[in-house]
Structure 1
């Protein structure tokens, strides 16, 4: 029973890990090749939203 549980956990972790890695890779490939001219929309929108914000934390040299 212990070996079955160990095998089940190992397979579950592999399936979850492989799914997560493939999801990130496929998303990156999809955005790069099929994103068209709108692939930087969220980045440019974030930068536009943060325009004029003060820097917080750290030391200014």
Structure 2
């Protein structure tokens, strides 16, 4: 009975892990293929917003 639960746990972790990895991979591929010319729009707007901000943290 213990072996059953161990096997069930291993398979469950494998299925959950594979589902998570496939989601990340497919999302990345979808953004590259179907993102068009506006795929960096949010990044560019964030950079514009943060222009002139003071840097905090880290080593000097």
Q: Which of the five TM-score ranges fits, normalised by the shorter chain?
A: 0.7 to 0.9
Runs in 1 of length 4+ with deviation above 3 angstroms? none
The residue that corresponds to 1:55 in the other structure is 55
Mapping of 1:27-46 within 5 angstroms?
27-46=27-46
The count of residues paired between Structure 1 and Structure 2 equals 60
Note the residue ranges of structure 2 that are not aligned, 5 or more in a row: none
Whole-Å separation in 2 of the counterparts to 1:24 and 1:48: 27
Whole-Å separation in 1 of the counterparts to 2:10 and 2:46: 39
1:5 CA drift (Å): 0.4
- For normalisation by structure 2, the TM-score amounts to 0.87
